[in-house]
Amino acid sequence: MKIKKEMTIGELLRTYPQVIEALLEFNMGCIGCPSAQSETLEEAAMVHGINVDKLLERLNEAV
């Protein structure tokens, strides 16, 4: 698994820009969010009420 829940959204987008579509599938508009630079995937999933394990599975499929 390349993508882990401890990664920040900003780090994720810089490293794997191809995951944008997968984030949008989960209704996560993190692409332009100022919090994306410091918020982890786990924190963002919690805020959006998303199962982090399912999110990670989908993101890792996208890379």
- pLDDT tens digits, residue range 22-42? 999 999 887 777 888 899 999
- pLDDT tens digits, residue range 2-28? 999 999 999 999 999 999 999 999 998
Tell me how far apart the alpha carbons of residues 37 and 58 are, in angstroms, rounded to a whole number: 21
- pLDDT tens digits, residue range 49-59? 999 999 999 99
With 0-12 CB in 10 A as exposed, 13-18 as middle and 19+ as buried, what is 34?
Answer: exposed
Domains in the chain, CATH or no CATH each? 9-62 (1.10.3910.10)
Which pLDDT score, from 0 to 100, does residue 12 have? 94
